[in-house]
Amino acid sequence: MSQQVPSATSTSVSANGQFNPFAMAQAQLDAAAEILGLDPQIHALLREPLREMQVSLPVRMDDGTVRVFKAFRVQYNDARGPTKGGLRFHPNETIDLVRALAAWMTWKCAVVDIPLGGGKGGIVCNTRELSAGELERLSRAYIRQIGRILGPEMDVPAPDMYTNPQIMAWMADEYSVLQGHNDFGVITGKPLGLGGSKVREDATARGGMSCIREAARLLGMDTRGKTMAIQGFGNAGQYAALLGEELLGVKVVAVSDSKGGIYAPEGLPASAVVAHKRATESVRGFPGAQPISNRELLELDVDILVPAALENQINAQNAPNIRAKICAELANGPTTPEADDILYRNGVYVIPDFLCNAGGVTVSYFEMVQNAYNYYWNAETVKQRLDEKMTAAFHAVHETAQRLKVNNRMAAYCVAVQRVAEAVRLRGWA
């Protein structure tokens, strides 16, 4: 008989009725804690960030005026090692979202069994409104304010939404200037010329493909010729399309971005769609494809669905209409707890976000290792070690789900929370 976990419906919203991602993250932890019989003191510690910093960043704009940007860094838990997590530039960034993402990074690092804790950062800004010079000054201003709590042995940021290797390079340089010596290991996701790791650019999607491959094997599915739909066509979504074709032999039939989506039942050539997106900044208007909305894409009758956009996309309203056999979450928090229950009952095999998209932080960890001893691996070595980590993590989660008779997300939480709780216990924190 499957275990009953507490409902997160009432705790995923704030007092004003708005969706609260951190409340959702806490509710998911609470459910895992109940299943594990977690010590109440450790549970209380794991429900909140250990440290967080909010700052204001004055930046000189090109027209000579000074604009002040709000920014955050959350170090959720470092019981297993230095905190690690992306840095997002987004106009709708909030402290609660950063807290949730830092919590998920804690579980993500633990579920793939790398010796790091979870952190996350964000700047409230719209990169499309900033020139290259303004973007550089903003990036350096962030390090001048936040740099005091960063470092290879403390907290290591990485690229995330609307940040990239060039931004990471500016930040690594600014940190090195402040330290008085080169210290490029403070940042991962850097260009190769500044100590970046090979395979980092497609690592998130590549790790997801390892998980999809293993899920398909468990389900007796030959992925060659199977259909895939991808919601969100940023870095992870684009590489999911390219690597889905290359590694799994799937047929990508639909993709979407913030401006719209396209659908072609006979299949979309991934490389051509990526080229069209990069040339026009949208997948819309791709020759031979028909328009489709994000909602319609999620509900397509496909074998593999890849949510690679924003959080809260699959919810109680549309979950009953999800027809994919495998839902591989490359986005953070795309499925609400209410939707999780529905998908589980309907037999959709969900590969939860902090397992499915852990390839990025895994290769970031590899970059930290390479930076630490100043010796760099070839691409095949990185790919092999990434696949080994992702495969082992996938099966640890699947076996836990089968043993506890819970859905895969709850199983991933149980694996990760147990590992972090053990570190907390061993260190005598609770």
Task: Tell me the C-alpha distance between 152 and 17, whole Å.
Answer: 40
Residue 25: both structure tokens together: 């993250």
Task: Give me the residue label for tokens 């499925």.
Answer: 335
Residue 424: both structure tokens together: 């907390």
Task: Tell me the C-alpha distance between 430 and 421, whole Å.
Answer: 9
Choose the catalytic residue: 84, 108, 120, 277. 120
* Residues in contact with 51: Cβ distance below 8 Å, sequence separation at least 6, in sequence order: 74, 75, 149
Amino acid code (one letter) for 180? G
> Do residues 259 and 284 touch, judged by C-beta distance below 8 A?
yes
Task: Give me the residue label for tokens 């003191």.
Answer: 41
Rounded-to-10 torsion of CA 418, 74, 331, 188: -100
Neighbours of 15 (CB within 10 A): 6
Nearest alpha carbon to residue 413 among 41, 72, 6: 6
Task: Tell me the C-alpha distance between 393 and 389, whole Å.
Answer: 6
Nearest alpha carbon to residue 122 among 54, 196, 44, 176: 54
> Do residues 231 and 257 touch, judged by C-beta distance below 8 A?
no
- HSE value, Cβ hemisphere, 13 Å, CA-based, for 65: 3
Task: Tell me the C-alpha distance between 47 and 11, whole Å.
Answer: 13
At 378 the three-state DSSP class reads coil
* Residues in contact with 373: Cβ distance below 8 Å, sequence separation at least 6, in sequence order: none
Clarify whether 198 is annotated catalytic: no
User: Which active-site residues does the annotation give?
Assistant: 120
